[in-house]
Structure 1
Amino acid sequence: MSILHVILLAIVQGLAELLPVSSSAHVVVAEKLLGLDPTTPQMTLLLVMLHTGTMFAVIVYFWNQWKKTYFSSGDAFKRFLIRLVWASLLTAVIGEVIIKVIEKTAFKGASKGEIELLFGRLDLIAPALFAAGLLILLAGLMEKRRMGAHEKVYGDSVTMRQAGWIGAIQGLCLPFRGFSRSGATISTGMLTGASKERAERFSFALAVVLTPPAVGREVMRLVKASHAATAAGVPIDLHGSMMMGLLGAVFAFLAGLLALRWLSSWLEEGRWYLFGIYCLVASVVVFGLYHAGY
């Protein structure tokens, strides 16, 4: 894997992770087009570092907003924490149940790693992108109607009901690559009555909470792969891979900041629905790539 490959993947990850267009779908397509193997330990380490870079981009970008909204007083923080825990629990429970159901029905006898690889197939990513596009388009058109009618939504934080719906929809799209997490959660917040600003703030706060466990899981997988490679007499160059990972994290961080500025701008201008149109078009392109043999 060359430095150019790392930079390209970092930019794709940084932009697509934080824009509502599904980073997993774009990274899978990029890996296939670049001829990279996503199962190698080096690739696993790189993806861990890219996720870490985008997580820090979210923290830097939203920190002042979160301080003003969620940490302005003890009561504000308590309300935020209760909603965050509620949404996180729903995400974890619903996501785990769906994964178990998939394991027991559609892919009997397959390991979690094998199932993840199966969900990396382009013919499964395409319909997930299409579904995400429809949800984003619906929320965007509803927001345009609300803006046209000069309707206003008051309050700084999402309600318990809105937090519950956001957590539930996030759990629902956990296994499916192509179903944008930010697209689904922000759209759900808007469809349940939250303002676009509240939905955006809460969605990314929830993402920061859920990113470390996901990164930890990938690190454990990397450690196991490293031990297996060493036992097989093919040790991994962890130092070289870490340097590549750090380079990728920096570019993912910078691309993430750019993506968040873009996202906030389009939300503010009532252009959220355009991300939905993009996902619909992308689903057709991905399906075409699948039939082309990728």
Structure 2
Amino acid sequence: MSLFEAVILGIVQGLTEFLPISSSAHLVIVPALFGWTFDPQVVFPFDVIVQVGTLVAVIIYFWKDLRKILFAWFRAIQHRNLFETQDARLGWFILLATLPAGIAGVAIKSLVESAFHSVSATAFFLLGTAALLFLGEGLGKHTRSLAQMSARDAIIMGLFQALALFPGISRSGATITGGLLRGLDRSSAARFSFLMSIPIMLAAGGLEGLHLLGQPDLWAYTLQLLTGFLTAVGVGYASIHWLLGHLQRHSLKGFALYCFILGMGVLLWQVF
């Protein structure tokens, strides 16, 4: 893997992790389109590192919110009043939203891993993301704020997050759709989508990090790994900021159309 390829894939991860167009799909499709082939000893650590980069980006962006939520959550436990404040409630909702994907990740791990080796399957799932986004825009009422969120909303968004285990199903797209279908406005659904991504990304990053320690000659690719990581952090932070502003004025239909065109394009490319 060259430094140029590391920068491009870092940009792809940083953009597509938070924009509702599926990072997993793009990390499968982009190398296939350019005919890039990488040493398996580089691919696994690189994928882990750039995913950690986007995790760092979302933590930095929401640091003030996370600190308030954590302090309120611990105080609520100390006071034995779990829903003492809005921030404490939000902390519990984030944990509730994490459960479905965590359970599904263990239950269907082998099925998910097999899907990552198929460009065609990834394209089909990308069409699924397009359908979800159109569904959320068409059926959602977009009237409720984060302060009006309930435990049921959190669980349903968590179920939608479980769909995103498959490559091509956008995690942010699926969870935002879940929020829209529950009546949340776009900005609130997106904000909670980003917050609820943190525990699952921490867990996944931790598990993959343990496997990473066993990789031989890891330090031989330090420059590529560091380049991809820093690129993913910077681009990921910028994409969060841009999307939250964009959704205050615009719908998700543009992203849905993009996913549809890309998915159909890749399927046709595979056929011809």
Which TM bucket (shorter chain)? 0.7 to 0.9
Alpha-carbon distance, 1:122 to partner: 1.4
Match for 2:232 among 234, 241, 252?
252
Mapped pair 1:160 → 2:170: no
Q: Contact 1:141–1:273 (CA<8 Å) still a contact in 2?
A: no
Paired residues of 1:120 and 1:177 also in contact (CA < 8 A): no
The CA deviation string for residues 211-255 of structure 1, in whole angstroms up to 9 with x for no partner, is: 1221233233334442xxxxxxxxx2x223122211111111111
Specify the alignment match of 2:101 in structure 1.
91
TM-score normalised by length of structure 2: 0.86
TM-superposition CA deviations, 1:52-99 (whole Å, max 9, x none):
111121122233455567767843343122212222122212333344
Q: Which residue of 1 aligns with 2:80?
A: none
User: Is 1:261 matched with 2:241?
Assistant: yes
Report deviation, 1:21. 0.3
How many Å apart are 1:203 and its aligned residue? 1.2
Quote the Cα distance in structure 1 between the aligned partners of 2:133 and 2:87. 29
Change beyond 3 A, Cα 1:247–1:155:
closer
Superposition pairs of residues 38-187 of structure 1, within 5 angstroms = 40-66=40-66, 74=75, 75-99=85-109, 102=111, 116-142=113-139, 146=141, 152-156=143-147, 158-174=149-165, 176-187=166-177
Distance 1:155 1:118 in 2: 34
CA contact 2:20–2:172 (8 Å) conserved in 1: yes
Query: CA offset at residue 261 of structure 1?
Result: 2.5
Change in Cα spacing, 1:154 to 1:8, as seen in structure 2 (3 Å) is closer
Deviation at 1:205, TM superposition (A): 1.3
C-alpha contact 2:163 2:174 (8 A) present in aligned 1: no
Q: Does 1:6 align with 2:16?
A: no
Cα separation, partners in 2 of 1:35 and 1:216, compared to 1, 3 Å: farther
| Cα deviations by residue, 1:167-225 (Å, 9 ceiling, x for unpaired) | 11212331x10000110001111111222222222211121111122123323333444
Corresponding residue of 1:274 = 254
Deviation at 1:34, TM superposition (A): 3.7
Q: In the superposition, relative to structure 1, how do residues 44 and 157 fare at CA in structure 2: closer, same or farther (>3 Å)?
A: farther
Q: Which runs of 5+ in 2 are unaligned?
A: 76-84
Preserved CA contact (<8 Å) 1:138 1:273: no
Given candidates 198, 221, 236, the residue that maps to 1:208 is: 198
Deviates more, 1:263-272 or 1:128-137: 263-272
Which TM-score applies when normalising by structure 1? Answer: 0.80
Query: Does the 8 Å contact 1:133/1:275 carry over to 2?
Result: yes
List gaps (5 residues or longer) in structure 1: 103-114, 227-235
One-letter code of the match for 2:60?
A: V
For the residue of structure 2 that corresponds to 1:18, the secondary structure is coil
Q: Which amino acid aligns with 1:76?
A: Q
Bigger Cα displacement from structure 2, 154-163 vs 46-55: 154-163
Distance 1:190 1:210 in 2: 21
Q: How many residues align?
A: 262
> What do residues 115-149 of structure 1 show as CA deviations (whole Å, max 9, x unaligned)?
62543311101111111111111212345xx47xx
Q: Is the 8 A contact 2:115 2:167 kept in 1?
A: no
Q: Which range moved further: 159-168 or 267-276?
A: 267-276
Post-superposition offset of 1:37 = 4.0
In 2 relative to 1, CA 142–69 (structure 1 residues): closer, same or farther, beyond 3 Å? Answer: farther
Give the conservation status (yes or no) of the 8 Å contact 2:28–2:116.
Answer: no
Q: How far is 1:43 from its partner?
A: 1.6
